[in-house]
């Protein structure tokens, strides 16, 4: 795939993922044009002032809730990365219809606009919280996943293909626990919800590079899941503030003890590769089944969960991953 010939649009392009994705695109892949599609003019201005002002860049004000604006923005676009979402669990619980409008109806709007515009590839970002969801955010992302996978049925006679990536917690992203712990460290006391809690973890750059690889390899209908290390929340606390007092405050509504990236039912139509799992469409309606010959099937009852993972981050590895955020936090003081 020759990225230099592609016009790429990123919904939610001013977010943590969007900025990192665009930086790597500009520095290494040099697409013909790259478009930021987001609803906040201030964030777009700040992004431009921060150096994202390459001649190939365009900034579109728009909301994924607005289908007509998406149709206009997608004119001439080859590849879409769908990163726009309401993702803060408490905010989604308190404003449920807003989460539905952005995460589900916004995804539907993007699918319709991409089909109408003849976009070649659309890759949506999903989350481990979409597996066996216990909160509204996870439920909306599960619905969005289903929309993107099943919409390949509409696209079968056209060039447009839809796929998803699904991965765990991104270190230091907005709303993650790392900035919270860094702020609490100054008081000498960290709050954790449950000492048994585990999470999948990856860096922002790892997430971006996995998305780029998925775009290059997707055929339509797949959900790509990277193999990730797990971390214990207690180890994260030790890495950030080893001498701090720990206060256990109890699990919040909609929070899980452990996260799952592939459940037992999905495992039956999932293949394992060296560094990822590829969840194929549950029904062989169209395409997405060439992965059968590229990987190996999973054993009956397989479940890819953060608490039964075979790869765990040590406290030292966690410190290495969070160092850039510690430095940024120190610089803000």
Active site residues: 129
What backbone phi and psi angles, to 5 degrees, belong to 21? -60, -45
Complete DSSP assignment for 133-149? --SHHHHHHHHHHHHHH
Q: Would the CA dihedral through 327, 329, 331, 333 be positive or negative?
A: negative
Polymer length of the chain: 333
Distance CA 256, CA 307 (A): 11
Sign of CA dihedral 223, 229, 233, 238: negative
Cα dihedral 85/91/95/101 (nearest 10):
0
Place of tokens 């795939």: 1
Q: Which two tokens stand for residue 267?
A: 């495992």
Helix (H) or strand (E) holding 184: helix 177-185
Q: Where are the beta strands (DSSP E) in 2-43?
A: 7-11, 33-38
Helix axes 315-331, 177-185, angle to 10 degrees: 70
* Beta carbons of 273 and 229 less than 8 angstroms apart: no
């Amino acid at each position: 795939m020759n990225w230099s010939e592609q016009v790429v649009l990123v919904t939610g392009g001013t977010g943590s993922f969007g900025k990192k994705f665009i930086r790597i695109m500009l520095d290494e892949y040099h697409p013909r044009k790259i478009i930021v599609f987001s609803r906040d003019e201030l964030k777009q201005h700040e992004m431009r002032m921060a150096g994202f002002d390459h001649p190939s860049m365009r900034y579109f004000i728009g909301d994924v809730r607005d289908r007509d604006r998406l149709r206009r923005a997608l004119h001439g676009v080859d590849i879409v990365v769908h990163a726009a979402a309401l993702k803060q669990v408490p905010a989604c619980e308190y404003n449920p219809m807003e989460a539905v409008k952005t995460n589900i109806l916004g995804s539907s709007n993007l699918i319709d606009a991409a089909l109408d515009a003849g976009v070649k590839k659309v890759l949506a970002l999903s989350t481990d919280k979409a597996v066996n969801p216990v909160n509204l955010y996870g439920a909306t992302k599960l619905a969005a996943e289903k929309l993107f996978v099943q919409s390949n049925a509409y696209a079968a006679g056209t060039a447009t293909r839809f796929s998803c990536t699904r991965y765990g917690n991104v270190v230091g992203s907005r709303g993650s626990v790392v900035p919270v712990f860094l702020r609490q460290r100054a008081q000498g006391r960290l709050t954790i919800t449950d000492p048994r809690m585990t999470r999948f973890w990856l860096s922002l750059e790892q997430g971006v590079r996995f998305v780029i690889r998925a775009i290059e390899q997707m055929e339509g209908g797949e959900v790509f899941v990277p193999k990730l290390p797990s971390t214990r929340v207690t180890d994260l606390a030790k890495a950030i503030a080893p001498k701090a007092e720990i206060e256990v405050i109890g699990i919040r509504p909609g929070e899980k003890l452990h996260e799952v990236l592939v459940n037992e039912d999905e495992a039956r139509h999932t293949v394992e590769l060296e560094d990822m799992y590829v969840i194929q469409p549950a029904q062989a309606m169209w395409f997405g089944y060439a992965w059968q010959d590229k990987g190996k099937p999973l054993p009956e009852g397989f479940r890819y969960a953060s608490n039964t993972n075979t790869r765990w981050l040590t406290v030292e590895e966690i410190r290495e991953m969070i160092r850039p955020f510690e430095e940024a936090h120190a610089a803000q003081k």
